[in-house]
Structure 1
């Protein structure tokens, strides 16, 4: 009987894990979720004085902070992260960085991430998709 209960418990746990994993979708929209985490892949670059990092197959892991308007961007390949960037919603499914201008711009939706961000003589760029 104990062995049957262990097998049943293991089966139930596997079913729960499959359901949890399959419920995560690439179609999750960062504008419609209270919490969001997603990986965008593509070209990422970072320039800091004489230091240059450029990867055609890099990635950016995006997380929405509990405040609901601030996001963190964790870059691959040793590129420093951008944290606490504030956004506003434009249209139904697009977020644009608050205070974006000609020298700093971040746009994110459920399929695409575009970054051109400068701060303290450093520049981050990303042209990525999910």
Structure 2
């Protein structure tokens, strides 16, 4: 009986592990998930208005949706400072646009594409990435 219980326990563990891993796919849509994490790859840049100027076509941005459900964090590659706690609203079925978007600050994200032009305190972040 102990052997059957042990085999059943291992089977259940493997089943839940496979289910959890398969649910995190590139098709996840940041607008429809309570939790979202995804990596977008493409061109990223950062300029602090002084001596730091980073620009690469081979960068990445790791996007996570935080507990509030409307705020996101953006972790850039290439030693670019992160953008955290940016608030979004849904536009259409599958697109999020930053609240307070204007001509100098704009972030748009969907399940395939991330576009960022964010200017704050003389610092500029940009990204044109896909998943």
Same fold flag (TM > 0.5): yes
Q: Distance in 1 between matches of 2:8 and 2:33?
A: 34
Q: How big is the shift at 1:54? A: 1.1
Partner of 1:76: 77
Q: Distance in 1 between matches of 2:73 and 2:19?
A: 27
Partner of 1:18: 18
Q: Map of 1:29-108 to 2, 5 A cutoff?
A: 29-48=29-48, 49-108=50-109
Q: Distance in 2 between matches of 1:65 and 1:118?
A: 22
The list of structure 1 runs, each at least 4 consecutive aligned residues, that deviate by more than 3 angstroms after superposition, is: 1-16
Q: Distance in 2 between matches of 1:31 and 1:8?
A: 37
Q: Distance in 2 between matches of 1:2 and 1:40?
A: 47
Count of residue pairs the alignment pairs up: 130
Normalised to the residue count of structure 1, the TM-score between the two structures is: 0.89
Structure 1 residue ranges without an equivalent (≥5):
none
Give the secondary structure class of the aligned counterpart of 1:24.
Answer: coil
Give the secondary structure class of the aligned counterpart of 2:67.
Answer: coil
Structure 2 residue ranges without an equivalent (≥5):
none
Q: Distance in 1 between matches of 2:114 and 2:103?
A: 17
Q: Distance in 1 between matches of 2:57 and 2:7?
A: 46
Q: Deviations over 1:66-122 (max 9, x none)?
A: 111111101111100000111111111101011111111000001100000001111
